[in-house]
Structure 1
Amino acid sequence: MAQNKLKAAILIVSDTASSDPTTDKCIPVLQEVFGDEWDVVESAIVPDDKSEIESFIKKWTDSDQYASCIVTSGGTGFAVKDNTPEAVSPLLHKQAPGLVYGLRSLILKLFTNFDRHAMLAPSLAITPFAMMARPVAGVRNKTIIITLPGSPKGAKENLEAIVKLLPHACQQAAGMNSRALHSGGIKKLEKEAGVASNAASGGTHSHDHHHHHHDHSHGGGHKVPRAHTKPEARPVPNDPSAGPTQRHRKSPWPMLSVDEALDLIKEHTPKPEVAKMSVNERLVGHVVAESVAASESVPAFRASIVDGYAVRIPASGTFEKGTYPVALVSHAQAGEVPELKEGQIARITTGAPLPPGSSAVVMVEDTVLVSQTEDGSEEKEVEILTSEIKDGENVREVGSDVQKGDTIIHKGQTISAIGGELGLLASVGVPQVLAYRKPIVGVLSTGDEIIPHDEARPLKLGEVRDTNRPTLLTAIAGTGFEAIDLGIASDKPGTLEETLRAAFRRTDIVITTGGVSMGELDLLKPTITRALGGTIHFGRVAMKPGKPTTFASVQVKDNDGKRVTKLIFGLPGNSASAIVTFHLFVLPALHHASGIEPAGLPRVKVVVDRDVKRDPERSEYHRVVVTAGRDGYLHAVSTGGQRSSRVGSFMAANGLLCLPAEKGVVAKGEMVDALLMGKIVSEL
């Protein structure tokens, strides 16, 4: 079975067919409807007995090898023995009335669209009695369950009415992220499923309750204007020109979970760009975009791995110890080396090429100098003290490290600062590789109250030194990315727009701090939507600290006139919030744009060394120092007060405890998840 196929199971409920399976006609008919896109992994026939129906449903839904969809056929009427709905309904964890309505709508289509659906005309003879069926549909665990009529024709027509929509339902039931699944709206889903709404085909009034869209069609196909995005995806920010009396009193932005926010960041971050890069220290941190093959072998010649003497083993296969003249010298340098004849030896250094004709190398420790030249500058004769010399001993053969044509670096590998990857590329003479370009990040502080941190004067009332910008610039550089200082933008109308437009010409991602809350001078959101024509993908996250974090994208033209996507991360103005949200949200975007996988901070398990109070409403990212304990576990100690403005809570912090929104405390000694921001220190 192909890995992308969904699994289906068919259960026939019939006393007659259970006694004589040859009488069943439904299984092959339903298998045909499922077609090649599905893999029917199970089918069975049971009598009209509730316990047997329940047994098979549980078997196919409650194991790791669950079916994505189960259809039953039979037992849905009003006869005394028709028990299928009574057996299935108590097993459902969620009801799916929309699928039931979909089945009933088939009957209505046959009547209202008779002129355009003549191929279904034979079914009209049975549709009035189809009203007598009691269909049930819903979800158990990760499986969609649907009850169909007992007749092959009725079962076939009902399944055909909804089979194209089932993959979407099964993906949701299996836990796929709903936002990612619905990205692009209802029209995209209809196109992928190969279906069309009534309105799109000139039919009757259509309601899509699941997506809250309404598509109207009247008469000869005339359509009224219809929005293509969901209302909750397009909140309206404050209009700064309307004054404080007209501003929102409650945020219009839906509160997303951290996971939902991360999914949107992944979805809207541009794919990494490929560039040709030189093999040097600037390649460190880049991900290779195309596998690299060795253009030559390493070593390219037979080389000695010790200091000693190259010898030639005679045809007999045995080297005899004794005194030999030193006929040649081979150093680790370029040049031709004469052939070594039998009965001669050659002094050789580590890494030097073996003279032609050499068989092995004897270590210098296994020799004694016998005589030297008259001027005493060279060895003349050397005694070899051992006969235990084998062919190829102490020799590094051609290609023993790398064979020509071997793949030495695979696509997706990161060039690390340790040096192994660069050394390997250099060893075979690779001058350039294709790698993913890393995005350039700009950091901007906003607010008339912000002054440079190094301005040498006392603060005026209301002024705040800019700690966010230098802190974030340092964090960006520490994670291996290039950062540009964009300075401080005023809260005056138009200033932020001009600053951002200029920043887009120099950067791929802009980080701002401040100006994302509900104040009348919080200009980032209205500037993005009203002035730049951008899209805000989320404006609030259910987390602590960092609730007002904003993520947006803006389409601009690059220097070549090509439309490109630039990202904006509006981080909170409080220092601790800005640093936490950088590591939690901006860093994954940098990784996605650079081809780095997995994206984001590494997650580890740590033992909490003190009680830590939880927040009952928002997930919290608590700053800690993570140490490697003598007991073999990682331990975490809180850095103290976690107020969002307390930048000191990051002093020595190298981790963030991940605390879900719950009442109570994480007790001392409990093990929880943590995200690592830096190097783990050893316990003293």
Structure 2
Amino acid sequence: MTTIRVGVLTVSDTASFDPVSDTSGPSLCRLVEAEPRYKVEITAIVPDDIKVIQKTVTHWCDDLDLHLVLTTGGTGFGVRDCTPEAVLPLLERQTPGISHLIFAKSIQITPFAALSRAISGIRGQTLVLTFPGSPKAVKENFEAVAKMLPHAIDLARGGTGKKVHEKMQGVSRRLRKSPYPLIAMDQALASVMDKIAPLPSTERPVNEALIGSVLDEDVVAVEAVPGYRAAILDGYAVIDTDGPGEYPVTAVSIATASYETPAKLLPGQIARITTGGALPEGATAVVMVEDTLLVKSSEDDTKEEIVEIRAKVRNGEAVREIGSDVKIGQIVLKKGQVISAVGGEIGVLASIGVGKVVVKQRPVVGFLSTGNEVVNHDNGQPLKMGQIRDSNRPTLIAATKAAGFDYLDLGIAPDSPEDLEAAVKNGLDKCEIVVTTGGVSMGEMDLLKPILEQKLGATIHFGRIMMKPGKPTTFATVPHPRGGQQPRLVFGLPGNPVSATVTFHLFVLPALRKLAGYEKYMWPSIQAEITHDIRLDERPEYQRAIVAVTNEGKIQAQSTDRNQMSSRMVTMLGANSLLVLPGRTAERANVASGDKVECLLIGKIV
């Protein structure tokens, strides 16, 4: 291909009536022909009309077989702006990377670039790009992609693009700066939490599946505990005013279900009773069996007839009165309380006659690994050159399960825009949160951000954080696929396993807790004495560490490993905390042994 044949289409109601008023179209033509090998073969001006736009673009692509079609105008928020709606149905393949490159360049110049809805893609063998309608925006957009368009067009027409690619890949043409500002950790956390509201409530039965749920209303007892006057030990029901002496045994009351009320106890009588047994009417106390003596039994030795009471008891002794534990109408659990596995909440609910409770819905989180080099850790095959086993999904799924949340394994997506888009869409359809690992840095195959923005309508709230590890961590919100009020959340975590694990604990688990209705959703923090010197990094750092209590009662922290590289998963071994280390300054370059350091507790203190 020697000459790139280009069509320039101006979309404007005004310019279609007064061609002289068109400034962006001629400006674009001059920019195109200033580039070697480009030739403007045809131009046109059409109104903001979907059918007219489509007719022109289709003719230029299908009949004229142009290499490149550039439109200018109609990409904004105006009522008549309809270029994206006209062009999108004509495209056989979209090119989100090109759209993202244009957006990234423009947003560095003006925040108003966010108001453009420009798209790009391929129809047949023609590349189609839509630009805004001002000469300034046209210049910025075209210059952002002009040098790489020959390569893209060659590929769209079935070529290998080898020569163009080799020419373009000079180091002078590589992106050296991310379009996403580097923000502070507290700003990133606030950005996440500001976008989250607890999920709606639902009614669920009282069983072990409640563990981890948060109550969304007070729970009131509908039955008293106990529901009858009961003995708290084995012995004899007595009338306390009778005092010590020998008494006939007139009844036996054992802990069993019965619709019959025990016979009334009269003065001078006692009744044999077991722990939990119902007290006969008239009984006022229970004497333990150790404080009695058998005086006489029946001839066949099967019944006690006379027993000596040897201890003086007071009214109510060893008796659980009705409602002494829980009264009818008593609030036993408060709204906002978490149903734990060890706190007894399930047992209390089961004891008071409550069969169902209202709790916050539990979020589901989906995990997707990305990368052509990533393979399932359990595929049973030896690794090929360049392959790595996926440790991210197993690690994050295990941490999610331990935290009591539901998850979905979304598998591995290769570095393909179509495959990655389909995998993320699948997760967004089924999960409140989608967590990806890999594909968020500055490499050629880091596709997540452009796909989120250009294909899924996402808003990226941040793409870089001033932290170590986890600098390229990305957070975005995506409109609910079925029109729900709460958007889906996407966390693009780095591919390095330690970076993924640390950022998961810092961002994703707190987000899950807040979605689930936890009032305290952040990790608890304590001060611990560090046991060794640490050289501070220029970025605030979260080192993996073990916090322990010494025999003397001191709380101490020690890094799991002095080499805390983000690729070394062994630094997570045994870690129960993250040391919160400040960034290095001229005044402070180290943390000295014995200094107090903030520790986020992600596990149990040893």
Residue aligning to 1:581: 503
CA distance in 1, matches of 2:199, 2:389: 36
Alignment RMSD: 2.3
1:71-90 maps to which residues of 2 (within 5 A)?
Answer: none
Instruction: Establish whether residue 266 from structure 1 lines up as the match of residue 266 from structure 2.
Output: no
Find 2:325's aligned residue among 401, 416, 419: 401
CA distance in 2, matches of 1:644, 1:676: 19
2:508 maps to a residue whose letter is V
**Displacement after TM superposition at 1:650 (Å):** 0.6
CA distance in 1, matches of 2:403, 2:526: 18
CA distance in 2, matches of 1:360, 1:238: 92
Q: Render the CA deviation track for 1:499-541: whole Å, top value 9, x for unaligned.
A: 1111122211111000000112101000100000011111100
CA distance in 2, matches of 1:527, 1:212: 20
Note if contact 1:583-1:600 (Cα within 8 Å) is conserved in structure 2.
no
Cα distance change of structure 1 residues 247 and 292 upon mapping to structure 2, 3 Å threshold: farther
CA distance in 2, matches of 1:464, 1:389: 75
**Displacement after TM superposition at 1:596 (Å):** 1.1
CA distance in 2, matches of 1:482, 1:532: 24
Q: Percent identity?
A: 50
**Displacement after TM superposition at 1:339 (Å):** 1.0
Find 1:328's aligned residue among 232, 235, 251: 251
CA distance in 2, matches of 1:374, 1:238: 109
**Displacement after TM superposition at 1:457 (Å):** 2.8
**Displacement after TM superposition at 1:597 (Å):** 2.4
CA distance in 2, matches of 1:306, 1:437: 43
**Displacement after TM superposition at 1:562 (Å):** 4.1
* Unmatched 5+ stretches in structure 2: 1-109, 113-131, 133-143, 153-164
Residue aligning to 1:516: 440
1:647 maps to a residue whose letter is M
| Greater relative CO, 1 or 2 (CA 8 Å, sep 6+) | 2
CA distance in 2, matches of 1:238, 1:507: 36
Note if contact 1:269-1:593 (Cα within 8 Å) is conserved in structure 2.
yes
Cα distance change of structure 1 residues 525 and 448 upon mapping to structure 2, 3 Å threshold: same
Find 1:572's aligned residue among 494, 497, 502: 494
Residue aligning to 1:625: 546
Note if contact 2:428-2:481 (Cα within 8 Å) is conserved in structure 1.
no
Give SS of 1:556's match. Answer: coil
CA distance in 2, matches of 1:535, 1:377: 82
Residue aligning to 2:76: none
Find 1:542's aligned residue among 453, 457, 466: 466
Instruction: Establish whether residue 344 from structure 1 lines up as the match of residue 265 from structure 2.
Output: no
Give SS of 1:486's match. Answer: strand
**Displacement after TM superposition at 1:255 (Å):** 1.0
1:110-125 maps to which residues of 2 (within 5 A)?
Answer: none
1:333 maps to a residue whose letter is T
Find 1:606's aligned residue among 524, 528, 538: 528
1:184-199 maps to which residues of 2 (within 5 A)?
Answer: none
1:326 maps to a residue whose letter is V
CA distance in 2, matches of 1:471, 1:294: 41
Residue aligning to 2:338: 414
Q: Render the CA deviation track for 1:320-355: whole Å, top value 9, x for unaligned.
A: 321111000001112221111121100001111101
Note if contact 1:329-1:347 (Cα within 8 Å) is conserved in structure 2.
yes
**Displacement after TM superposition at 1:247 (Å):** 6.7
Give SS of 2:395's match. Answer: helix
CA distance in 1, matches of 2:224, 2:400: 39
CA distance in 2, matches of 1:403, 1:541: 53
* Unmatched 5+ stretches in structure 1: 1-210, 214-224, 226-236
CA distance in 1, matches of 2:568, 2:211: 34
Instruction: Establish whether residue 648 from structure 1 lines up as the match of residue 595 from structure 2.
Output: no
**Displacement after TM superposition at 1:419 (Å):** 4.2
CA distance in 2, matches of 1:393, 1:477: 47
**Displacement after TM superposition at 1:676 (Å):** 1.1
CA distance in 1, matches of 2:229, 2:398: 49
Instruction: Establish whether residue 449 from structure 1 lines up as the match of residue 402 from structure 2.
Output: no
Give SS of 2:510's match. Answer: helix
Cα distance change of structure 1 residues 414 and 463 upon mapping to structure 2, 3 Å threshold: same
Give SS of 1:473's match. Answer: helix
Residue aligning to 1:638: 559
Find 1:659's aligned residue among 562, 569, 581: 581
- The number of equivalent residue pairs is 443
Residue aligning to 1:362: 287
Runs of 4+ in 1 over 6 A off after TM superposition: 237-244
CA distance in 2, matches of 1:440, 1:571: 17
**Displacement after TM superposition at 1:305 (Å):** 0.9
Find 1:525's aligned residue among 434, 446, 449: 449
Cα distance change of structure 1 residues 238 and 365 upon mapping to structure 2, 3 Å threshold: farther
Note if contact 1:557-1:564 (Cα within 8 Å) is conserved in structure 2.
no
Cα distance change of structure 1 residues 467 and 619 upon mapping to structure 2, 3 Å threshold: same
CA distance in 2, matches of 1:532, 1:332: 64
CA distance in 1, matches of 2:584, 2:177: 24
Note if contact 1:247-1:520 (Cα within 8 Å) is conserved in structure 2.
no
**Displacement after TM superposition at 1:407 (Å):** 0.7
Find 1:284's aligned residue among 171, 196, 211: 211
Residue aligning to 2:605: 680
Residue aligning to 2:159: none
1:4-15 maps to which residues of 2 (within 5 A)?
Answer: none
Q: Render the CA deviation track for 1:240-274: whole Å, top value 9, x for unaligned.
A: 99868577431111111111111011111243221
TM-score normalised to the size of structure 2?
A: 0.70
2:298 maps to a residue whose letter is T
Give SS of 1:377's match. Answer: coil
**Displacement after TM superposition at 1:453 (Å):** 1.2
Q: Render the CA deviation track for 1:632-660: whole Å, top value 9, x for unaligned.
A: 12211111110011111111111110001
Find 1:306's aligned residue among 214, 233, 250: 233
CA distance in 2, matches of 1:270, 1:479: 19
Note if contact 1:628-1:635 (Cα within 8 Å) is conserved in structure 2.
yes
CA distance in 2, matches of 1:529, 1:673: 37
1:575 maps to a residue whose letter is P
Residue aligning to 1:54: none
Note if contact 1:238-1:248 (Cα within 8 Å) is conserved in structure 2.
no
CA distance in 1, matches of 2:578, 2:421: 34
Give SS of 1:543's match. Answer: coil
2:247 maps to a residue whose letter is Y
1:438-517 maps to which residues of 2 (within 5 A)?
Answer: 438-517=362-441
**Displacement after TM superposition at 1:563 (Å):** 5.4
2:559 maps to a residue whose letter is S
Cα distance change of structure 1 residues 588 and 524 upon mapping to structure 2, 3 Å threshold: same
**Displacement after TM superposition at 1:391 (Å):** 1.3
CA distance in 1, matches of 2:196, 2:145: 26
2:367 maps to a residue whose letter is V
Note if contact 2:476-2:489 (Cα within 8 Å) is conserved in structure 1.
yes
CA distance in 1, matches of 2:598, 2:390: 32
2:210 maps to a residue whose letter is L
